[in-house]
Structure 1
C-alpha cells in the first residue's frame, strides 16, 4: 500500500516567489530605464514622421420630391420605393464601384500632386500652382514619380528616373496597360507651360492656375496611379445614417489632404444627384423617345393623306361634294378616334407583355400614358418594376450576396405576374369595347355607301387625314407634357452642409497613444526578460529558498566579498563581512558545546560543486578562530583541485599527499602563515588515486596527530556533489558546514544534500549562505556557464575532479583566467 509519506515530494514544490520577483525587477531598474528611453525615442520619431490625418464630412438629406406639374393626364411616375428604401439604396451607391469610378474619372484623382516634406513626400493636391490635362487615349507612365522643376514662370523641367529598359504605361480611356522601351537613367527635358508634351511614356499639357503665387525654382512631383486601385481607396468613404432622422445621411472621409477630401465628398454627392435625376427622368425620357419614333411615322402618313386630299380637291368641286356629308364625317371621325385609342392600348399591352416575358431589364419601359392608359394598378406596378430593376443594377457593383439579388428577383417576378394579370383583364375589357366601336363604324359606313361616289371618296380621304392629324396632335401634346415633367423633376438628394475646410478637423496621429504604447512596451520587454530569467534561473536566491527546500539549519549568512584578497577577516577585521564570520564562530562553539566536544575541535567545509566559496569560507573561519588566539590549522584535502596555496602565496609542493604516502611527517607538511596562530597544510602534488589515499589508515593517523597539536582543525574538502572524498572524511569531524552560494547553487543540489543527511553520510550538518546581496541579479557572473543537474554531468564544475579526455581547446584556454572569478 502507498503511504502518505510517499507523497512528501510535493511538499517541496516551490511556489511562485512574488516578493523575490519584485526584488529582481527592482535590481534591473537600469534595464527598464534604457528600455523606456529606447521606446519613447522610437515613439517620438514615429510621431514626428507621421502625416497629420484630418476628417471631413458632408451632410445630405433624402426627400421624395413630387413633380409639381404632375396631373392626371401626365401620369409619368417614377418612385425609388419610399424614403427608407431610397436611403438604403443611396447609401449602397455611395460605396459602389461604378459610382466611385464616375467620381474618380470626373476629378481625375488617379493623378497625385506631391511635394517633398521634411521626412517624406506629402500630398499637395490643391496647393500646387499648376495642373495637368492628359490625353486619355495615349499612354502615361504609371507608378513613377515625375519631377517638375520650374526654371522660370513659363518654363519647367521634367525629370523621370528610369531603372530598367522599359516602363509600364496606362491609357485611361480604356484602362489598358502596356509597356514601352526607355533608356535607363534619368530622363531630363524642358518644356514651355501650356505646350503639349508628346512622349512615348507621357502625354499632357501643364497649365498654371490663377493666382499661383511664387513658384519659380520650386520642385514638385506628379504620379499616375492605377485607376482601379484609386477607385478601391475611395470606396471606403464612410456612410452613416442618422438614427434620429432616417432621411439624413452623413458622408465622411479621413486623410492627410483636406482639399482633396472636400472636393471628393462634394463631387460624389453631385454625381449621384445627377444620376438620380437622370434615372428619375428615365420614364419621361423613354416616353419622349417612344413618341419621337411614332411622330416620324405619323408625320409621313399625315403628309401622304394631306397630299391625297389636296389632289382630290383640285379635280372636284369640293364645295358641292362636301354639302350634305358633314354630319357623316363628324360622326365616323368620332368612332375612328375611339377605335384608335383602344387599338393603341391593345398594342401597348401586347408589346408590354412580350417585353416582360423576354427581357430582364425593365428600366426602359415607356410610360403607359403614351397609349392613353391611366389604370392606377398598371401605372403603379410598372413604376415599382422600374425602381426595383434600377436598384438591382446599382447594387450589382457593391453587393456580393446572392440572397439579396434573389430577393430582388422574387419581388420583380411577383410584380411582373401581377402586371401580366392586369394586362389580361384590361385586354378583355378593351376587346369588348373594340367590338362595340367596330359595330358602330360598320353602321356608319353602310349609311355612307348610300351617298354619291364622290362624297364617299372625299369622306374616306378626310377620314384618314383627320385621324392621322388627331393622332399626331395627341402625340405632340403628350411629348410636350413629358418635356415639362422632365424639366420640372427635382432630385430627391439635397445638400444640407456641403464639405468645406473651415479649419481644424485634425484627428491624428494620436501621439498620446504612441507614447502610452511606448510606456507599456518599455516596461513589458524588460519585464518579460526578468520574468524569463526568474524561471530559467534555478539557483538559490535567498534564505527563504533554503528554508523551503530543507530542514537543515542555516547558521550564517556571508556577504559578497568585493575586495581583491580572500583574507577578508584578517585585512578588514571591523567590516560587516568579518562580523558575519564571527557570528558563525559563535554558532559553531554552541554546536561543539551541544555535542560535548572536548579538546581539539574539527570542522569540515564542503559544498555541492566548485565555485561556491569553500576555500574562502575555510580561510576566514580559520582566521576568526586564530584571531581569538586559538591554535588553528587549515588542512587542504581538495586533492584534485587545490586552491589553498593561492590564498597564502605558498608553493604546493609538499602537503597531505606526502604524509599519506609516508614521504613526510606532520611537522614537515605544516606551513606557517603571516596570521598569528594560523597554520596551513597544503594538499601537495595531485595524486592519481585521491579517494584511496583519504580512505587509508594514514588519514586517521594524521587527524590524531593534528588533534594533539591544535585547538581547531578545519578541513577544506572537495564538493560532495561531484566526488565522494568529503563523505569519507565525515567520520573525523565534529561539524560539517555546507556552503550554498546565492544565485549559483542549484536547487537540485539541496535535494541531494537532504538525501545524504537522511542516509547519515554527513553528520551534524549546517548551512552557510555565501555571496549574499540584497539585490542579487539573475544571470550574474556566477550564474551561468556551469552546467548543473545530478547525474547529467556538471560542465565546468567538474574541472580538476575527473579524468579529462584530451587537451583543452584554445577557446577554453583563453577564457579560463576570466572564469576564475573571485569566490566571495
Structure 2
C-alpha cells in the first residue's frame, strides 16, 4: 500500500474519532442543553391541558330516483361514490353547517348551563372576570379547528371527531353535529315536497273560505223564498258538472304546484349545465312524446267519464276494459321513450347533474300530463255547462248556487286529500343520512401524549446540543489534538497534559512539575519529549542548544522550557536554562528568584558568569534569569557578546535551553534560532489558532533554521483521545505503585 493511501485511511479513521472526541470535549454543554430541553418538555407535559376526543359516525347513501329508477340507472350507482361522499364532507365543513351546530350547542348550554363543562362556547376570562357566552358565528369559527371530518376508506361512512378540554362538551358537539347534518339533509331532500305542501295549504285555506261564502250565498237565496229544490235530473247534472269542475280546478292547483317545482329544477340545472337544461325543456315539445301524453291523458279522462256515467254493474264493461288496455299500451311506449332519453343523458353526465336531470324529467312528464288533463277536463266541463244552461229559467239561478257550492265542496275535498298526501309524502321522505354510531363520553384524554412530548423534548434537546457543538467546532480555529498537527504534516514531538493541581493555593510551585511530581503523567510526558529530541540526531553532541518559543503569548513556552530542562537534568546531564525573553521574562517566577542580576547584566560586563548563574532545586540544573530589561532586546541578542556567551555555555554544559518570546510578535526568536542546534515550537491545545501556528512554522522552516517540531501543551487526555489517557494512566499507575492507587481510592 502506498504512503498516500495510508494517509487517506488515517484521515478517514480519525474523522469518526474526531466526532467522538468532539462530544467528549463538550459533555458539559451537551448535558446542560439536553437537561434544559428535557426539563422544559416535562414542565410543558405536566401542565398541558387534557384534550378529550369523541367520535360519531354517519352512513351517507346516494339518493335514488323515485319513478324513473331502472336497471340502466342502477348500473351507474357505484360510479362517483367517493366524489359524492367528498361533496357531503365539504357540506359538513361549511360555515352554515357549523353555525347550525353552534346554535344547537347554545340551546344545550341554555338548557343545562353547566359552565365548567363548556370551553368552545365560552370566552374564558380570568378568575375575577365572568366568562361570557360567545355568539354563534364565533363558536362556528372555533368548531373549524376543533372538529375533524373524514371518510372511512372504501366505505360510505363519515366520522365526525370533536376535540375539547371537556369530555362532556366533546360528546355533545359531536352528537349535535350529526343531528344537525341529518336535519339539514332531510330539509334538502324534502325541499320540493315542502314547497308543494305549503302551496296546497294556502289553496286549501283559500278554497275553504270560498266554500263558506258559497254556502252562505245559497242559504240566503233559499231564505228569500226562492226555489227550494230541484228535480232529480237537475241534481244529477249539477253533481256530474261539479265533479268534473272540481277535478279541473284541483288539477289546475296541482299544475301550479308542479310548475313551481319544475322552474326550480330548471334554474338549478341551468346553473350546472345550460345545454342540458335547454334540451330537457324542449322535451315537452317533441311531437312523438307530446302525442303519447295527449293520447294517454285523453284515454284516462274518457275512462273516468265512462265510469261516472255508468252504474256500478257496468264498470267492467268491454268499453272500459278496452280503454284500460290502450292506456297500458301507451304507458309502455311512453316509458320506452323515457328510457331512451335517460340513456342519452346519463351516459356522460356527472353524478350531481344525473340526479337533478332525473328529477326534472319526472316533473316535466307530470307537468305536461297535468296541462293536458286541464284541457280535457275543461272540454268536459263546457259540455256539461251546455246541458246546464238548458234547465228551466225558474230553476237555473238555484242550480248555479248549488253548482257553485257542490263544486267548491268537492274541490276543497280534493285539495284536502292532495294536502294530506303531500304532508304524508314530506314526512315519509327519507333522508340519505343514517346515524350509525353516536358519540360516547371518553374516559381518558387523547391529548397530550406526555411520554411523546418528553421524548420529543429529549430528541430536540439532543439535536440542539449537537448542533451547538458542531457549530462551535466549525467556528473554532484552534489546535486540539496531535492529529490536527499531523494532518498538516507538522511534526509533533510530544503532548503535555494539563497539570492537575497547578497554581494550588495561589502559588506556582506545581508548574515545575518534573521536580514536584516526578511520577506524574506530565513528568512522564516531559521525559518522552526529552527522549524524542535525543533520538532526532545520531550524534548527541550535535544537539546541545535548544530554543523554546511559541506563536503567541500565554501558550506555556516558559513552563515547557523549564520542565524540559529539569528532565534533562534528571537524566544526569548538566543543564542550564537561560531566560532570553527580554520583554516579558518569567523564569524567575517559576524558581521563586529575583530577575536581577541576570543575562543582560553579564552581557554588559557588570557581573561575572558565576554571579548570574543560580542553582535549581534539583541536581545538574542551573538557570540564568533575564536581568535588567534592555531598551533594545533584538540588538542585544544579535550582539557578539551574546554569541560568545552561547559558545561558553556549550562548553560548560551538556544541554543549553533558551526561553524566548513568541516568534510572530518580535524577531528575537528568529535571531536566536540561527544560534542554536534546534528549535521547539510550543502549541497550546484549544488556544493556539491554526493560522498563527502555521505562520510560526513557516518562519522557522525558512533560512535553514533548525526546526525540530512542536510540543502540544495543555492537552486533555480524559476529554480528548482515550488511547493516550489509558496509556499514561497505566504507566503512571505502574510507576506510582500502591501509593498512587491508594490516593485515587481516597479521592
TM-score by length of 2: 0.70
Would the aligned equivalents of 2:241 and 2:381 in 1 still touch at CA under 8 Å?
A: no
CA deviations on 1:739-787 (whole Å, 9 max, x unpaired) are 2222222222342244224422522523233333213479xxxxxxxxx
In structure 2, do the counterparts of structure 1 residues 90 and 776 end up closer, same or farther at CA, with 3 Å as the change threshold?
closer
In structure 2, do the counterparts of structure 1 residues 571 and 250 end up closer, same or farther at CA, with 3 Å as the change threshold?
closer
1:715 to partner: Cα distance: 1.6
Q: If each structure's strand is expressed as a fraction of its own residues, which one has the higher value?
A: 1
Distance, in Å, in 2 between the alignment partners of 1:351 and 1:284 is 11
Would the aligned equivalents of 1:143 and 1:226 in 2 still touch at CA under 8 Å?
A: no
Would the aligned equivalents of 2:161 and 2:174 in 1 still touch at CA under 8 Å?
A: yes
In structure 2, do the counterparts of structure 1 residues 638 and 482 end up closer, same or farther at CA, with 3 Å as the change threshold?
same
Distance, in Å, in 2 between the alignment partners of 1:242 and 1:690 is 90
Residue 532 of structure 1 is matched in structure 2 by 471
Residue 55 of structure 1 is matched in structure 2 by 53
Distance, in Å, in 1 between the alignment partners of 2:63 and 2:528 is 101
Distance, in Å, in 2 between the alignment partners of 1:355 and 1:226 is 34
Residue 108 of structure 1 is matched in structure 2 by 109
In structure 2, do the counterparts of structure 1 residues 358 and 745 end up closer, same or farther at CA, with 3 Å as the change threshold?
closer
In structure 2, do the counterparts of structure 1 residues 722 and 489 end up closer, same or farther at CA, with 3 Å as the change threshold?
same
1:482 to partner: Cα distance: 3.3
Residue 100 of structure 2 is matched in structure 1 by 99
Cα RMSD, aligned residues only? 4.7
The aligned runs of 1:696-707 (5 Å cut-off) are: 696-707=639-650
Residue 199 of structure 1 is matched in structure 2 by none
1:489 to partner: Cα distance: 5.1
Would the aligned equivalents of 1:336 and 1:441 in 2 still touch at CA under 8 Å?
A: no
Distance, in Å, in 1 between the alignment partners of 2:98 and 2:240 is 61
Residue 200 of structure 1 is matched in structure 2 by none
Would the aligned equivalents of 2:50 and 2:447 in 1 still touch at CA under 8 Å?
A: yes
Match of 1:22 among 20, 23, 42: 20
The aligned runs of 1:6-17 (5 Å cut-off) are: 17=15
2:511 alignment partner, SS class: coil
CA deviations on 1:187-230 (whole Å, 9 max, x unpaired) are xxxxxxxxxxxxxxxxxxxxxxxxxxxxxxxxxx8654454333
Match of 1:257 among 145, 166, 180: 166
* Structure 1 residue 741 corresponds to structure 2 residue 689: no
Distance, in Å, in 2 between the alignment partners of 1:566 and 1:323 is 146
Distance, in Å, in 2 between the alignment partners of 1:86 and 1:674 is 99
Residue 572 of structure 1 is matched in structure 2 by 517
Distance, in Å, in 2 between the alignment partners of 1:557 and 1:341 is 115
Moved more, 20-29 or 715-724: 20-29
In structure 2, do the counterparts of structure 1 residues 488 and 591 end up closer, same or farther at CA, with 3 Å as the change threshold?
closer
* Structure 1 residue 775 corresponds to structure 2 residue 723: no
* Structure 1 residue 237 corresponds to structure 2 residue 175: no
* Structure 1 residue 456 corresponds to structure 2 residue 396: yes
Distance, in Å, in 1 between the alignment partners of 2:264 and 2:52 is 51
Residue 499 of structure 2 is matched in structure 1 by 561
1:354 to partner: Cα distance: 7.7
Would the aligned equivalents of 1:335 and 1:440 in 2 still touch at CA under 8 Å?
A: no
Match of 1:322 among 209, 228, 231: 231
Distance, in Å, in 2 between the alignment partners of 1:409 and 1:493 is 17
Distance, in Å, in 1 between the alignment partners of 2:233 and 2:367 is 43
* Structure 1 residue 550 corresponds to structure 2 residue 493: no
* Structure 1 residue 766 corresponds to structure 2 residue 705: no
1:651 to partner: Cα distance: 1.6
In structure 2, do the counterparts of structure 1 residues 354 and 340 end up closer, same or farther at CA, with 3 Å as the change threshold?
same
Distance, in Å, in 1 between the alignment partners of 2:415 and 2:701 is 120
The aligned runs of 1:349-360 (5 Å cut-off) are: none
* Structure 1 residue 610 corresponds to structure 2 residue 553: yes
Distance, in Å, in 1 between the alignment partners of 2:494 and 2:63 is 97
Distance, in Å, in 1 between the alignment partners of 2:270 and 2:205 is 26
Would the aligned equivalents of 1:605 and 1:717 in 2 still touch at CA under 8 Å?
A: yes
Residue 183 of structure 1 is matched in structure 2 by none
The aligned runs of 1:74-93 (5 Å cut-off) are: 91-93=89-91
Would the aligned equivalents of 2:57 and 2:435 in 1 still touch at CA under 8 Å?
A: yes
Residue 453 of structure 2 is matched in structure 1 by 514
Distance, in Å, in 1 between the alignment partners of 2:718 and 2:498 is 11
1:22 to partner: Cα distance: 0.9
Residue 636 of structure 1 is matched in structure 2 by 579
* Structure 1 residue 659 corresponds to structure 2 residue 598: no
In structure 2, do the counterparts of structure 1 residues 541 and 426 end up closer, same or farther at CA, with 3 Å as the change threshold?
same
In structure 2, do the counterparts of structure 1 residues 21 and 662 end up closer, same or farther at CA, with 3 Å as the change threshold?
same
1:667 to partner: Cα distance: 3.9
- Equivalent pairs counted in the alignment come to 621
Would the aligned equivalents of 2:701 and 2:707 in 1 still touch at CA under 8 Å?
A: no
Distance, in Å, in 2 between the alignment partners of 1:475 and 1:267 is 38
CA deviations on 1:544-566 (whole Å, 9 max, x unpaired) are 11211134x43333333334333
In structure 2, do the counterparts of structure 1 residues 284 and 339 end up closer, same or farther at CA, with 3 Å as the change threshold?
closer
Would the aligned equivalents of 2:572 and 2:620 in 1 still touch at CA under 8 Å?
A: yes
1:63 to partner: Cα distance: 5.9
In structure 2, do the counterparts of structure 1 residues 676 and 284 end up closer, same or farther at CA, with 3 Å as the change threshold?
closer
1:609 to partner: Cα distance: 1.8
1:242 to partner: Cα distance: 3.3
Would the aligned equivalents of 2:574 and 2:654 in 1 still touch at CA under 8 Å?
A: yes
CA deviations on 1:788-813 (whole Å, 9 max, x unpaired) are xxxxxxxxxxxxxxxxxxxxxxxxxx
Residue 470 of structure 1 is matched in structure 2 by 410
Distance, in Å, in 2 between the alignment partners of 1:606 and 1:71 is 107
Match of 2:592 among 640, 643, 649: 649
Match of 2:530 among 585, 589, 606: 585
Distance, in Å, in 2 between the alignment partners of 1:413 and 1:242 is 27
Distance, in Å, in 2 between the alignment partners of 1:269 and 1:642 is 90
* Structure 1 residue 301 corresponds to structure 2 residue 206: no
Residue 312 of structure 2 is matched in structure 1 by none
* Structure 1 residue 42 corresponds to structure 2 residue 43: no
Would the aligned equivalents of 1:339 and 1:437 in 2 still touch at CA under 8 Å?
A: no
Distance, in Å, in 2 between the alignment partners of 1:351 and 1:677 is 125
1:643 to partner: Cα distance: 0.8
In structure 2, do the counterparts of structure 1 residues 89 and 110 end up closer, same or farther at CA, with 3 Å as the change threshold?
farther
Residue 387 of structure 2 is matched in structure 1 by 444
Would the aligned equivalents of 2:580 and 2:658 in 1 still touch at CA under 8 Å?
A: yes
In structure 2, do the counterparts of structure 1 residues 99 and 589 end up closer, same or farther at CA, with 3 Å as the change threshold?
same
Distance, in Å, in 2 between the alignment partners of 1:543 and 1:359 is 84
2:545 alignment partner, SS class: strand
1:736 to partner: Cα distance: 1.8
